[in-house]
Amino acid sequence: MIKLITSKIRYKIMALMIVLMTISSIIGMLLIYNNVSHSSYEATQKSLNMLNDAIFQSLRNAMNTGDPAVIAHAEKQAAEIKGIDRLVVEKSKKLIELFGSKTAYTTDAEVLKAMETKENSTLEDNTNGHKLRMIKPMIATDECLVCHSNQSKGDVIGVLDLSFSMEASDESLNSLLLSNMLINTLLGWITILVIFFLVRYISKPIETLQHSIHAMMKFSSAEQQIIVDSNDEIGDVAKSFNIYLNHVREVMRQDQLVVEEAEEVIQMAKTGFFNYKISATSTNRITNDLKNTINSMIEELNDKIFLFLVKSLIVQ
């Protein structure tokens, strides 16, 4: 797999794009999930607070009547509201003592805390499903003292313990996130396909350049050029290579002229004509060095032969 990816530039680009898009998609989905969950939780909590206040007020009005049947009916109606998982009105000790209720005093730590602090609390519970628990103390007012003679204004008469199921909200949120994930995945694959064809189109001149070079290596000719119909960097590389190729051919032509002339000069030297020299030049330094060496050798040989002949004549 790694060998395949590293075999072509477009595969490298595609692999890098897939990795980057995957990472960005995961990070994006996590951020979206976190933001949507937080916003959904806040909106749900706000709505439930309003519902809690309405139920609280309804129960309070029922309690102000002093009729147990009306109070029980109000509790039953409130408990039947869609989404409410549990509704309990925990009575204070003084209320139990006053009416001789057989209901046991609560042992719930959160309810006892509300009895003592007289403060509302909202708890998130995941013990048996996702629930939002709202605990609200019922504070005695002047109206309450008509029936609750053993309590004073400001005392806690009872605590409304209300639990709302968050399952429907969670399902809706998960459904939304799943839809977004599927859409993002689909768009991601479409984007990858588009990028693949774009990269393939962009990298096509590179393959053309490669094939042209291989063709030149197999079937080289004097006028052969690399043809790349591209005005980008690949086209510039092809043009530069053609210029270099022409330069190499020109140097080879110059070298060939020097070699041909060198063969003629050497043949003339073999027949005794040492006054011929190689006049052709080349931009190739090595070829010029060879030319100068041959010319120097012929000149030295000519001088030695001339001196030998002179000495021979003097001796005679």
Tens-place pLDDT, residues 46-81: 877 787 778 778 877 777 776 778 877 877 887 777
pLDDT at 82: 79
Mean pLDDT of the 217-234 span:
69
Which contacts (CB < 8 Å, 24+ apart) does range 207-214 have?
209/234, 209/237, 209/238, 209/241, 212/238, 213/241
Taking residue 14's Cβ as centre, other Cβ atoms within 10 Å add up to 17
Q: Could you tell me if 12 and 132 lie in one domain?
A: yes
Alpha carbons 118 and 114: distance in angstroms, whole number: 5
* pLDDT grade for 201, boundaries at 50, 70 and 90: confident
Quote the number of domains for the chain: 2
Q: Could you tell me if 168 and 49 lie in one domain?
A: yes
Alpha carbons 4 and 28: distance in angstroms, whole number: 30
Q: Could you tell me if 131 and 260 lie in one domain?
A: no
pTM of the predicted structure, to 2 decimals:
0.51
Q: Could you tell me if 6 and 137 lie in one domain?
A: yes
- Between 266 and 228, where is the model more confident? 266
Which residues make beta-bridge pairs with 136?
160
Alpha carbons 186 and 42: distance in angstroms, whole number: 31
Q: What is the dihedral of CA 233, 235, 241, 243, to 10 degrees?
A: -110
Tokens of 315: 């001796």
Domain membership of residue 204 (yes or no) is: no
Tokens of 311: 């000495």
Alpha carbons 45 and 38: distance in angstroms, whole number: 10
* pLDDT grade for 316, boundaries at 50, 70 and 90: low
pLDDT at 222: 57
* pLDDT grade for 223, boundaries at 50, 70 and 90: low
Q: Could you tell me if 9 and 128 lie in one domain?
A: yes
Domain boundary among the residues 139, 172, 205 is at 172
DSSP code, position 283: S
Q: What is the rounded average pLDDT for all residues in the chain? A: 80
Those residues with Cβ within 8 angstroms of residue 195's Cβ, 6 or more apart along the chain or in another chain? 13, 14, 17
Domain boundary among the residues 143, 172, 201 is at 172
Domain membership of residue 187 (yes or no) is: no
Tens-place pLDDT, residues 83-136: 788 888 888 888 777 776 677 888 888 888 988 888 988 888 887 788 888 888
pLDDT at 4: 61
The answer to whether residue 220 scores a pLDDT higher than 70 is no
For 54, the domain range is: 2-172
pLDDT at 221: 60
Q: Could you tell me if 159 and 13 lie in one domain?
A: yes
Q: Could you tell me if 158 and 64 lie in one domain?
A: yes
DSSP code, position 103: P
Tokens of 145: 């003292």
Domain boundary among the residues 154, 172, 190 is at 172
